């Protein structure tokens, strides 16, 4: 029996650090918000690595980038990848690991000379994080036809920038049409971004699906007034409403129990002064659950609370959906494959849902899809302290490699 | 008996509108944050009116401006005035009325040729609002020796600007030393900024004093993390703490009852993104009460709530006092004088405390002081919709005129 193929860990580590230095925040973290100059620099770097490997680099109309081997192939490839944009206070693994381990796996497969039954490709998708432009998983959503190109290009970001203009500006308006042609299969390696694997001492997560996501932006308009002279009974205070919602959703998640989570991550008051009852508050509510019914229940409870608050406080409330994705279940045969490969590597494995949204959940609409999770130290992510130990990164990349290798050499997929 | 002196209402109305056009926000409101270009433009305009009247214009080291008549006088004047800086979403009467009605009263006194026993002067004080630089009543506080000049000049604003630099930049570093020489007396006309006079159908408020003010800035540091993958039980969420405080102080004010008021007017989250549990929240709490003991009770309850929250949520909390002023009682003889003059004008009068802070409460530390209130429509202030009816503005200005006239012609003050 031949020596099993293994990725080059020093090469992967080096690429993680090199890409992590682009947009580095000086505290171990990374800020490469989608379609900014830093994102362009990161894209250019990864594209240069794709070209160095001899991959054919394709860019589609929403800026998703795919590197395919062989360069002259025309059949649907087995695709891997993730994203390289980050949140404003991001770490260097979220997304980046999936792209660079994917590149590493492709390089290892090419170098091995193993005969391929179908092409292999690695992609990074535009604006997965959604920190600058909503919704998240933006590029993969457009790729699978879940968001029309025109609407996507017209999307205005939190800083007033427009997706189409920014794509043009950074030189990533490609020629491939969207929706794109479905790949033969999709496999994404990602850090867990939660505490479960580490807490249970498990090496690898075989991801069974992704919880549903509901993002709402709530704008409350009240009556701006003097903080010293306005009796409490006369107030119409949007900051109180924002605060009350932050407390309510914490309580709601507690009542519903895991896996329900609820977050008020953004609050903006206007005029935002110590001695003025604000005129307006804009804030976001992020609700997630693996059960669509439970997620709808959480949304309904929030809506009822907001209606009651608006009535009691004498304010108006506008709600805008920033993102709404139902829970996704991955292809059972693909999940089994991840579990079997990881077990074969001598790793402990846990089947688990993903708490975060991922490009894989979009790809799951058009092809057999799976994800591989590696443990996150202290469950920390979206934070400069985000960390996965080297041994876990290497183990995860080798599981990805063998899953891809099976898929590109098998008679049929999945 | 001679015809009583009366101010020129068209002239006052015209000056209110002309000054209100500087920094106009297009919705009837005004934005002249302290020491900005708009504030400079407003200052230059009022100074030009002072010079047109032949007043001697003096500027002190913190940028307070006084126009004195006669120009060659050396005795302590009877002083009137207020401020011309506004909050970011201010109206055109708050502060401005006191300065321009004061100017109008001085002009009327000069034109009358009445013999003066002592000089008369009108001032505007730097940064009364405290919206850009804390604390509020900044210039008058320095004038009476309540804040050292060096500390005042080194104060950093919410936008990072420094008071000393900004004073220099707009050309209002004067030569008069601070603390300044106490005037013979101080009288300030101001809109009520609350609903009491209008609700009771009363024309004039004879202000008995000013409620105590406690401004705190609270910074909560938690653990930034992924909003989708971090179980609720693992969170250390500063946004939840900020929201909980907004709800708590509303409840606290309700339990304590009037005149206690409590406001969370400013909240800033970092990184302030929909899908990130924030790392940090900074917010302000504005507490006011006419009773020092009650104000201390409110502060103690807030502190206990914050301590308990910090413990329960696993976050650290830092508190910084932005302003702390005990309640102030005005000189009884001065309050009587306002009441008597207004009654003599055929106005209904109510003795009342001020809910807002005013420069008068600082001047009260060094000289006999009084305030005259005029009604605010719907009690609205710190808002472009801030309004006092013309008849009330005129009535208030004439009460101010006669109070000043008594003070400058009396054998002794007050």
Cis ω for the linkage preceding B293 (within 30 of 0): no
Mean pLDDT of chain B, nearest integer = 96
| Distant-in-sequence, close-in-space partners of B383: CB < 8 Å, separation ≥ 6 | A223, A224, A225, A279, B29, B89, B90, B91
* R_g of chain A computed on alpha carbons: 22
Contact A294, A256 (CB under 8 A): yes
Please give the Cα distance from B371 to B361 (Å, whole number).
9
Question: Comparing C-alpha atoms, which of A77, A83, A78, A79 is closest to residue A63?
Answer: A83
DSSP state at residue A220: E
- Give the chain A residue whose CA is nearest to the CA of B322: A274
Give pLDDT, residue B2. Answer: 64
**With bands split at pLDDT 50, 70 and 90, how would you rate the model's confidence at A62?**
very high
Nearest to A88 among B227, B267, B271 (CB): B271
Give backbone dihedrals phi and psi of B61, rounded to 5 degrees, phi first. -70, -15
Contact A144, A130 (CB under 8 A): no
Q: How far is B123 from chain A (nearest CA, A)?
A: 23
Superfamily of segment(s) B9-210+328-409: Zn peptidases (3.40.630.10)
- Residue A159: how many other CB atoms lie within 10 Å: 10
Residue of A93, A157, A200, A225 for testing the chain B interface, max B β-carbons within 10 Å: A225
Interface contact A356-B228, CB threshold 8 A = yes
Give backbone dihedrals phi and psi of A72, rounded to 5 degrees, phi first. -100, 15
Contact A285, A261 (CB under 8 A): no
Question: What's the length of chain B?
Answer: 414
Q: Once rounded to an integer, what is the mean pLDDT over residues A281-304? A: 97
Say what the pTM is.
0.78
Q: How far is B109 from chain A (nearest CA, A)?
A: 32
Cis ω for the linkage preceding A135 (within 30 of 0): yes
Please give the Cα distance from B87 to B34 (Å, whole number).
8
pLDDT at B104 over 50: yes
Match domain A9-210+327-409 to its CATH number in 3.40.630.10, 3.20.20.30, 3.40.50.300, 3.90.226.10: 3.40.630.10
Contact B89, B194 (CB under 8 A): no
Instruction: Write the Ramachandran bin of A70: left for phi over 0, alpha for psi from -120 to 50, otherwise beta.
Output: beta
Tokens at residue A265, please? Answer: 């991550």
Tokens at residue B124, please? Answer: 């505007």
Give, for A248, the enclosing helix (H) or strand (E): helix A238-256
DSSP state at residue B182: P
Q: How far is A226 from chain B (nearest CA, A)?
A: 5
Q: How far is B230 from chain A (nearest CA, A)?
A: 6
Interface contact B240-A258, CB threshold 8 A = no
DSSP state at residue B188: E
Give, for A68, the enclosing helix (H) or strand (E): strand A65-69
Tokens at residue B330, please? Answer: 């005005």
Q: Over the stretch A7-58, which tens digit does the pLDDT of each residue have? A: 999 999 999 999 999 999 999 999 999 999 999 999 999 999 999 999 999 9
- Give the chain B residue whose CA is nearest to the CA of A356: B228
Residues of chain B positioned with their CB less than 8 A from the CB of A376: 229
- Residue A385: how many other CB atoms lie within 10 Å: 16
The residues facing B281 across adjacent strands are: B220, B269
**With bands split at pLDDT 50, 70 and 90, how would you rate the model's confidence at A1?**
very low
Nearest to B243 among A192, A224, A247 (CB): A247
Query: What is the CA B296 to chain-centroid distance, rounded?
Result: 22
Give pLDDT, residue A2. Answer: 64
| Distant-in-sequence, close-in-space partners of B208: CB < 8 Å, separation ≥ 6 | B329, B330, B335, B351, B352, B353
Tokens at residue B98, please? Answer: 């006191």
Query: What is the CA B208 to chain-centroid distance, rounded?
Result: 16
Interface contact B130-A274, CB threshold 8 A = yes
Q: Over the stretch A186-234, which tens digit does the pLDDT of each residue have? A: 999 999 998 889 989 999 999 999 999 999 999 999 999 889 989 999 9
Q: Once rounded to an integer, what is the mean pLDDT over residues A164-172? A: 98
Interface contact B383-A278, CB threshold 8 A = no
Interface contact B276-A265, CB threshold 8 A = yes
Angle at B219 between CA B217 and CA B224, to 5 degrees: 155
Locate all alpha helices (DSSP H) within B68-216, ordered by sequence.
96-112, 138-143, 149-153, 163-170, 196-200
The residues facing A267 across adjacent strands are: A283
Nearest to A242 among B131, B243, B356 (CB): B243
A197-206 in b/e burial notation, b at 16+ Cβ within 10 A? bbeeebbbbb
Give pLDDT, residue A381. Answer: 87
Contact A304, A256 (CB under 8 A): no
- Give the chain A residue whose CA is nearest to the CA of B279: A383
Q: Over the stretch B228-276, which tens digit does the pLDDT of each residue have? A: 989 999 999 999 999 999 999 999 999 999 999 999 999 999 999 998 9
Looking at the domain that runs over B212-325, which CATH code has it been given? 3.30.70.360
- Compare A163 and B322 and report the one with higher pLDDT: A163
Tokens at residue A193, please? Answer: 């971004």
Q: Once rounded to an integer, what is the mean pLDDT over residues A106-116? A: 97
3-state DSSP call for residue A231?
coil
Which residues make up the CATH 3.30.70.360 domain(s) of chain B?
Answer: 212-325
Give, for A258, the enclosing helix (H) or strand (E): none
Q: Over the stretch A355-414, which tens digit does the pLDDT of each residue have? A: 888 999 999 999 999 999 999 998 888 889 999 999 999 999 999 999 999 999 999 988
- Give the chain B residue whose CA is nearest to the CA of A379: B230
pLDDT at B1 over 70: no
- Residue A251: how many other CB atoms lie within 10 Å: 14
C-alpha distances in angstroms, B322 versus B45, B137, B155, B307, B361? 31, 12, 11, 19, 17
Give pLDDT, residue B414. Answer: 79
Interface contact A130-B237, CB threshold 8 A = no
Strand pairing report for A276-277 and A328-329: unpaired
Which residues make up the CATH 3.40.630.10 domain(s) of chain A?
Answer: 9-210+327-409
What is the three-state SS of A161-208?
CEHHHHHHHHCCCCCECCCCCCCCEEEEEEECCCCHHHHHCCCEEEEE
- Residue A213: how many other CB atoms lie within 10 Å: 28
- Give the chain A residue whose CA is nearest to the CA of B313: A250
Q: How many helices (H) does chain A have, and how many strands (E)? A: 12, 16
| Distant-in-sequence, close-in-space partners of B293: CB < 8 Å, separation ≥ 6 | none
Give pLDDT, residue B59. Answer: 98
C-alpha distances in angstroms, B63 versus A207, B54, B79, B99, B175? 65, 20, 17, 15, 9
3-state DSSP call for residue B414?
coil
Question: Comparing C-alpha atoms, which of B122, B68, B59 is closest to residue B95?
Answer: B122
Give pLDDT, residue B323. Answer: 85
Nearest to B266 among A225, A228, A274 (CB): A274
Mean pLDDT of chain A, nearest integer = 96
Give pLDDT, residue A157. Answer: 96
Please give the Cα distance from B71 to B56 (Å, whole number).
4
Interface pTM, i.e. ipTM = 0.78
Interface contact B217-A274, CB threshold 8 A = yes
Tokens at residue B205, please? Answer: 């408020």
Give pLDDT, residue A325. Answer: 87
DSSP state at residue B162: B
- Give the chain B residue whose CA is nearest to the CA of A132: B273
Interface contact B383-A223, CB threshold 8 A = yes
Percentage of chain A exceeding pLDDT 90: 92
pLDDT at B367 over 80: yes
Residue of A243, A279, A352 for testing the chain B interface, max B β-carbons within 10 Å: A243
The owner of tokens 């919705």 is: B27
């Amino acid at each position: 029996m031949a020596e099993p193929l293994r990725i080059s860990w020093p090469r992967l580590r080096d690429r993680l650090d090199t890409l992590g230095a682009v947009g580095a925040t000086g505290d171990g973290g990374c800020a490469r918000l989608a379609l900014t100059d830093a994102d362009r620099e990161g894209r250019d770097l990864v594209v240069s690595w794709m070209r160095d490997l001899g991959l054919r680099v394709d860019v589609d109309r929403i800026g998703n980038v795919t590197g395919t081997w062989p360069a002259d192939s025309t059949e649907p490839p087995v695709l891997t990848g993730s994203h390289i944009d980050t949140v404003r206070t991001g770490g260097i693994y979220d997304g980046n690991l999936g792209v660079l381990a994917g590149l590493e796996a492709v390089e290892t497969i090419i170098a091995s000379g193993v005969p391929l039954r179908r092409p292999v490709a690695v992609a990074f998708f535009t604006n997965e994080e959604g920190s600058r432009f909503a919704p998240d998983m933006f590029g993969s959503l457009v790729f699978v036809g879940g968001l029309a190109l025109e609407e996507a290009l017209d999307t205005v970001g939190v800083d007033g920038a427009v997706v189409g203009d920014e794509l043009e500006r950074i030189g990533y308006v490609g020629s491939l049409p969207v929706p794109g042609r479905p790949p033969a299969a999709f496999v994404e390696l990602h850090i867990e971004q939660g505490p479960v694997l580490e807490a249970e001492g498990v090496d690898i997560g075989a991801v069974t699906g992704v919880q549903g996501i509901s993002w709402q932006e709530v704008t409350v308009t009240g009556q701006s007034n003097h903080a010293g002279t306005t009796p409490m009974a006369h107030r119409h205070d949007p900051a109180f409403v924002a605060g009350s919602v932050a407390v309510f959703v914490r309580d709601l998640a507690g009542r519903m129990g895991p896996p329900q989570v609820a977050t008020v991550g953004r609050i903006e008051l206007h005029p935002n002064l110590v001695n003025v009852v604000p005129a307006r508050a804009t804030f976001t509510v992020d609700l997630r659950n693996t059960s669509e019914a439970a997620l709808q229940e959480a949304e309904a409870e929030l809506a009822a609370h907001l209606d009651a608050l608006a009535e009691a406080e004498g304010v108006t409330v506008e709600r805008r959906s920033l993102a709404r994705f139902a829970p996704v279940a991955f292809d059972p045969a693909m999940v089994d494959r991840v579990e079997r490969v990881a077990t074969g590597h001598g790793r402990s494995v846990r089947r688990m849902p993903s708490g975060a949204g991922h490009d894989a959940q979009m790809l799951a609409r058009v092809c057999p899809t799976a994800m591989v999770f590696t443990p996150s130290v202290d469950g920390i992510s979206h934070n400069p302290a985000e960390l996965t130990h080297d041994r876990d990164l290497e183990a995860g990349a080798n599981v990805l490699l063998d899953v891809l290798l099976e898929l590109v050499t098998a008679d049929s997929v999945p």
